Amino acid sequence: MKFFVYLMFTVLLLSAAGLFVMKRPDGQTWLSLNEVTPDLQQTKFEVKQFSKDAIKTIKNVFNDESEEVNKNVTVYRWKDEKGNWHFSDKPNEKTEKVILDSSKITVLPSFKKDANKTEITSNKNESSFSIPTPTTIAPDKIKDLIQDANNIQNLIDNREKQISESLNNN
């Protein structure tokens, strides 16, 4: 069996190397080094352009032109009909004003949406959930996936509770 594997590996290498030697009907070889190796100058230009675009995007997301953070931050909160708490920096008709000490919290600037991009919206009337076929999840792992989702929901609920308690203490 070991000899057969060595033989097959040798045949594979010879067939790949043969493409650089054998000629097509037009007299050119089937493969050349120029076709296998990329154009390094073009690749270098593409990498530089990509890095410039990435840096520009990062600067736009985390712009330093935002206004200075005050010592106290005003947040408005309200509870909807379903009992869910909502938080905003803009008042609403049902809001309760809460003042937070910014030295105890982390405040990040909001993400600015690109006006040129169009947003894809889904049909809100769709209430059915379907698993795509064929699924990429093994059937024996679905139970673990559901448990992980429940654990994440518990973490979110606990975090929301901590935030509410923190706001009530202030």
Going by their DSSP bridges, the two strands 96-101 and 85-88 should be labelled as unpaired
The pLDDT assigned to 113 comes to 67
> SS3 for 115?
coil
With beta carbons less than 8 A apart as the criterion, state whether 61 and 69 touch.
Answer: no
User: What are the residue ranges in the chain where pLDDT is below 50?
Assistant: 65-69, 124
The pLDDT assigned to 116 comes to 64
Extents of the domains making up the chain: 2-61, 136-170
| Angle, CA 139 vertex, CA 138 and CA 140 arms, to 5° | 90
Instruction: Please state, in angstroms and as integers, the Cα–Cα distance from residue 30 to each residue in 36, 39, 57, following that order.
Output: 11, 19, 43
Per residue in 2-28, pLDDT (tens digit) is: 899 999 999 999 988 888 888 888 888
Per residue in 127-140, pLDDT (tens digit) is: 555 555 556 677 77
The pLDDT assigned to 66 comes to 47
- Closest by CA to 69, choosing from 106, 96, 95, 110, is 106
Mean residue pLDDT of the chain comes to 78
* Token digits of residue 57: 């995007």
Please give the helix or strand (H or E) that residue 46 lies within, else none. helix 40-61
Q: Dihedral sign for Cα 37, 41, 45, 48, please.
A: positive
